[in-house]
Structure 1
Amino acid sequence: MNYWLIVNTGAGDGSRGESYWREHLQAAGVEGLKVRDLADTEWEGDVAIGDRVLVAGGDGSVNRVATVCVERQAVLGVLPSGTANDFARNLDLPDDPATLCRIATGEATLAVDVAWINDWLFLNVAHLGLGTLPAREASQEQKRHLGRFSYLLTLAQRIGMQNGIHARIECGEQSATGQWLTIAIASGAYFGGGHTIDEAYIDDGKLDVVAVRKRSWWRLLVAFVTTRLLRMTSDTDDTLVHFQAPSCRVTLKHPHTLTADGEDLGQTQQVEAFTRHGVLQVAGRPEASPRLRFSRLEPLAAQPRPAPL
């Protein structure tokens, strides 16, 4: 088995780079570490079944390396070094670097879901509408100085300028049509630097589709207080829609920008998303969550990339 360290030199504020993680991994007993820059691509074809691929970066970096791990049947290890680090939150990873390295190189692994949207793999959340703005417009300087709060700053600056997007959402037997302020399609429970989606889990075999209709400020405020603060649902107010299903389709009246795990996927008028249960092996810790399935690390059989339903 090989140990790989894939580093995104532009992630976060730059303080958790190659030398930082190499030192902690050596202290954890890792020898013969293969270090590569995320910007390179040659290493991807050299990853073998059962290799441990450690990624130092944010959610976009983890997404990229996870794609390789699924295709090569390798084990992903996450060393959070970015701005939001939402996938690390889904895994309930600690902040301490020494503990992180012990977890990333330990024998305990968990099988988590992986989702695809328009043939692009994502682990956390994809957005249409207002939710795409932080990924597209939060500057590197804002991210460096404000961290995850840069996303909130961008939303606050632009929320009054949104006209909404007209779309039909279909998830299994559930559907809704209307003018939406934002549409989020989530594989995990966290997005935007720690915001949560209730009832979403990273290993339940379902997508969580959460959409907010374009409403007046007071109706949006009431919906927020009711659902987020009081943890209640309303039978009469359809401002917020929450569907769960293994796959979903969103049909837009006009093309709009789609983002996934902070990456801009361009303009689209049709969105197809689906999830596959437990196809990614990730280094983790058994006490993280009762919803996560851990096992002793064993050789993994090669499998083809899951195909959509």
Structure 2
Amino acid sequence: MKQIISLGLGVQSTAMYLMSSLRELPEAEVAIFSDTGKESTATYDYLDYLKRWQKQNGGIKIAVVNEKNLYRDLLNKSNTGRFASIPAFTAGTDGKAGMLRRQCTGEYKIRPVDDYIRDYVYGLPKGARRPQTSVWIGITTDEAERMSIPRERWKVNNYPFLGMTVDSHGNVGRVPWAVPQNRSNVMSWYRRKGIPIPPKSSCVFCPYQSDHTWAMRKRHAPEDFQAAVRVDQAIRNSTSQGVNNPVYLHRSCKPLAEVEFDLTQNIEWGECSGTCHV
């Protein structure tokens, strides 16, 4: 069974890539990063670093797939075949804020990785069933609840830092070579190796961000924040996509550029899929 790393460029998935490249874990076939079009500048900088590291150390191949661009599609909704729904906020008839259905992870993270496996790992035509494949996902023991059952019958989700696998039928197996680790263990591994720790990876416009994260982005990465403001403005009128009330990136249902962020609030507003930024 081929071993594929789903590379989110966060702390855990990058550690899997590095450990596999250093043969501290089994050698995977390829690590696939699905670029949604507007990760943070810090994440793109780290990707450049990781590519250099790969060349210098004979690391596993890194494949960047970017045919689908969520940032561009959100800015130009009329040019897309269907609305790429992100979990943005809108006020209901009772005035309370609710979140829209999230489709972005499946369409812009999971599916591009699956398509790369079909097209380039196996060289199969569209519609062909892939052989059973182990896809590594970087979830540590402190967030084990983020494990998920793959929808695709050919896929086995492999969680090296949990020591567990899950197939499409929900069958749970053990990974004999894995050593369960929490996030703190993984961070310590980076320090022992003298390798820079990746920044948290997510789209700059992700609505799940805490006020503290928004404020730090506005202060330290103003270009990234302005990109989020452009998305916030672009999605405001989403009636053509079936959303009748104004749509916002911030839970206050106010324009992002006008929000006064609470620096003490450091809790994300919802739970993003583990596939996004681990």
Whether TM-score is above 0.5 comes out as no
| Structure (1/2) with the larger strand percentage | 1
TM-score by length of 1: 0.23
TM-score by length of 2: 0.25
| Structure (1/2) with the larger helix percentage | 2
